[in-house]
Chain A
Amino acid sequence: MFYREAGQFKTSYAADQAVFPLLQDRIGIGVILAVAFVLIPLTGNSFVLQAMMIPFLIFSLASIGLNILTGYTGLISLGTGAFMGVGAYACYKLTTYFPNVNIIVWVICSGFASAAVGVLFGLPSLRIKGFYLAVATLAAQFFLSWCFIRVPWLYNNNSSGAIEVPLRTFFGIPITGPNATPMTRYFVVLSIVVAMTWLASNLVHGRIGRMWMAVRDMDIAAELIGIRLLPTKLFAFAVSSFYCGVSGALLVFLWYGGAEPAVFDVNQSFFILFMVIIGGLGSLLGSFFGAALIFLLPIVLRFLPPKLGFQIHSAMIDHVQFLVVGTLIIVFLILEPAGLARLWSIAKQKLRVWPFPY
């Protein structure tokens, strides 16, 4: 009843090919954007913005990146953390060499550096498949992590060995550095994430996305119908690394405000991979769900009990949080192995036929 497509006729090819062919979907997207751009900034305090929403959006972006590679093209990558790191370090180098260029330009450009590195480490993907491909990306992960520590040029030879974020402004408003308010940072991150999600959505729904999915479903068959495997796979690596790189740059410049190399270790890679799997492989919406479950849920579990007046010791909360998150992951998988995105589409289906299910 709530989600009926009856009566919505498509009169042109363009309408038929639209990403959101249903009116309800378009309304839904409008509502989500309104909440994100208006309601959350109006109601959220600095904790919600700075500790929850900004990292949530950044991790969602990284998940989208990995989802393009793993979910859409079927190539498992455990190097996400390192590719994010390449983005962050590239952005740092660029903005220290050319401090007068707008930082947002450099954040986007740093994605290209990451894409180049991604393509390089994606080269073996033509020959190595499945879990075995994980080794190529793990080699990237460990080698790049080592470079972040060992190549002093990357952090401008400073004595702390970490990258520090200088103050950068956008039309006079500080957007990075300590003086940037959580609100400005949030809007910058949100705008970039929305724009890049829109781009990704167009990519995966178009010709390129279909090529990726053909390769995922069976690469030999894809080859037989005329898809050139190497360029397709490498392009997936490039796009995926681009997204990861941008999210890495955002992570350091708009969230942490300074980072040690340890931020981009293999645990970060696993963290993003699990967001993608639990959210739903091959679903952009799932990337957001996954980031919410893996990143936001523990925070809620950590900070909710004290707010409700329970006096639990901090270490105990941590233990319980691990137990609860672990249980929830397993429960969600048992309920819906295809990920949270699938749960959402089931819910949509229910809404469609409610109150008269077949």
Chain B
Amino acid sequence: MRSNPGEGPFEVAPHPNPLPSKRAFTPVFDGLCGERERTARGAALMDLLYKIFLDPFVQMGAAPDLLVQTLWEGLVAGVLYSLIALGYVLIFKASGVFNFAQGIMVVFSALTLVGLYQLGVPAFLALALTIGVMFVLAFGIERLILRPLVNQPDIILFMATFGLTYLLIGFGELVFGGEPKVMITEALYLPKGAIEFKILGGFVQLQKIDIAAAIIASIMVAGLAVFFQKTRIGRALRAVADSHKAALSVGISLEYIWVVVWFTSGIVALATGIMWGAKSQVDFALEIIALKALPVLILGGFTSIPGAIVGGVIIGVGEKIGEFYWGPLLGSGIESWLAYVIALIFLLFRPQGLFGERIIERI
């Protein structure tokens, strides 16, 4: 925690570099209301152009500490997005399933963890048990859903994961109830508080939990990369990703691989649930977080782990910078669609995503 509360970001009296006062709240849609005088149209246009093309950069230069802070927040958000995206990529790579249930798996795993803890199970035992539950879930999904649907079109498997979503919602609410729960950050020894740097005439504040999230996510990603490249199972996984038939013919058990990937993505879901749950609370609204992974996936390519990482960071940083510097032009809150527009722009140049497998079309 901060030693001296007087040094908090909001107590520092005058900012060393006061911002241009032009940035009052003036959404461009005011013009649509027809209230604004038309006489000053030319001047308004110049003003608008100034706000779009110059003012954000003036601000970046005027308050570099805020720019650094924005970049950091974008980076953290990006790493967390890539964590969610990773859950999708793993499953998509091995079984060609676009897993609609990933979001509810995040909620379900976090609920299980907190629910067990509330029953009096020690935190780390609860964590271990939750991992066990995710394994049982992976096993059940493979046995009851994937195996009977083997060799079906992608969209059918996608639909099946929607059925799974309903099942998990019903089951989760039945067992744990709908009340929101507080994530057990302290019991899991996740750090609190913030580190502050004084740089560039201002200060930058790094939340310890964000640093922890970034580190944990990086370790998980690195671990998965090693797992895929170096181990026997990893090789088998890559073989399955290349071709189901070829993998089967050399004696790789598809069932086994599927359990492994669903289990791994269950663990990724758990990590996601802990990190996002610590940011707010654990309830069924956490499900919508998974949607944030869609532009990341599309940008990075559905099948690429590095793609998920780079895509996540691009989306995270892009959307925070966009929201912070250009958002006020449109009255803020543009984050919800900005990520998709960024992804779309990239896609128009590379239709298979940044790292996706090259699309080769033959007759």
Direct contact of A and B (CB under 8 A): yes
Chain A contacts to B: CB under 8 angstroms:
76, 124, 127-129, 131-132, 134-136, 138-139, 142-143, 145-146, 150-153, 157, 218, 220-221, 224, 266, 270, 274, 277-278, 281, 315-316, 318-330, 333-334, 337
Q: Are A131 and B170 in contact (CB-based, < 8 A)?
A: no
Across chains A and B, which 3 residue pairs bring their CB atoms closest together, nearest first?
Answer: A322-B170, A326-B166, A329-B163
Query: Contacts of A322 on B, CB cut-off 8 Å?
Result: 166-167, 169-170, 173
A151–B343 alpha-carbon span in the complex (Å): 24
A134 is contacted by which of B27, B171, B298 (Cβ under 8 Å)? B298
In the assembled complex, 6 residue pairs joining A and B whose CB atoms fall closer than 8 Å, in A order, are A135-B298, A143-B340, A150-B333, A221-B363, A277-B158, A327-B163
Q: Are B33 and A326 in contact (CB-based, < 8 A)?
A: no
Query: Contacts of B159 on A, CB cut-off 8 Å?
Result: 274, 277-278, 329, 333
B178 is contacted by which of A218, A315, A324, A327 (Cβ under 8 Å)? A315
Residue of A nearest to B295 (CB): A135
Residue of B nearest to A126 (CB): B351
Interface of A is mostly: helix
Given the contacts A274-B159, A333-B159, A333-B160, A151 and B29 also touching, CB distance less than 8 Å = yes
Min distance, Cβ B55 to any Cβ of chain A, angstroms: 21
Query: Contacts of A328 on B, CB cut-off 8 Å?
Result: 163
Min distance, Cβ B175 to any Cβ of chain A, angstroms: 9
Query: Contacts of A131 on B, CB cut-off 8 Å?
Result: 98, 154, 298, 302
A270–B29 alpha-carbon span in the complex (Å): 30
Given the contacts A151-B29, A329-B162, A333-B159, A319 and B173 also touching, CB distance less than 8 Å = yes
Interface of B is mostly: helix
Q: Are B170 and A124 in contact (CB-based, < 8 A)?
A: no
Residue of A nearest to B155 (CB): A277
A321–B98 alpha-carbon span in the complex (Å): 24
Q: Are A157 and B33 in contact (CB-based, < 8 A)?
A: yes
Stretch at the interface among B69-77, B129-137, B141-149: B141-149
Query: Contacts of A320 on B, CB cut-off 8 Å?
Result: 170, 174
Query: Contacts of B337 on A, CB cut-off 8 Å?
Result: 139, 142-143, 145-146
A142–B333 alpha-carbon span in the complex (Å): 12
Q: Are B331 and A150 in contact (CB-based, < 8 A)?
A: yes
A323–B27 alpha-carbon span in the complex (Å): 46
* B32 close to chain A: CB less than 8 A: yes
* B330 close to chain A: CB less than 8 A: yes
* B347 close to chain A: CB less than 8 A: yes
Min distance, Cβ B301 to any Cβ of chain A, angstroms: 9
Query: Contacts of A277 on B, CB cut-off 8 Å?
Result: 155-156, 158-159
A274–B170 alpha-carbon span in the complex (Å): 18
A152 is contacted by which of B33, B164, B171, B173 (Cβ under 8 Å)? B33
Given the contacts A157-B33, A319-B174, A322-B167, A330 and B144 also touching, CB distance less than 8 Å = yes
A220–B148 alpha-carbon span in the complex (Å): 32
* B294 close to chain A: CB less than 8 A: yes
Q: Are B340 and A132 in contact (CB-based, < 8 A)?
A: no
Q: Are B33 and A146 in contact (CB-based, < 8 A)?
A: no
B156 is contacted by which of A138, A142, A333 (Cβ under 8 Å)? A333
* B45 close to chain A: CB less than 8 A: no
A254–B98 alpha-carbon span in the complex (Å): 36
A329–B160 alpha-carbon span in the complex (Å): 7
- The interface centre, meaning the residue of A131, A153, A218, A270 with most chain B CB atoms within 10 A of its CB, is A131
B155 is contacted by which of A128, A281, A318, A325 (Cβ under 8 Å)? A281
Query: Contacts of B239 on A, CB cut-off 8 Å?
Result: none
Q: Are B164 and A139 in contact (CB-based, < 8 A)?
A: no
A279–B32 alpha-carbon span in the complex (Å): 42
Given the contacts A129-B359, A132-B352, A337-B152, A139 and B344 also touching, CB distance less than 8 Å = yes
Given the contacts A142-B340, A277-B158, A323 and B294 also touching, CB distance less than 8 Å = no
Min distance, Cβ B134 to any Cβ of chain A, angstroms: 18
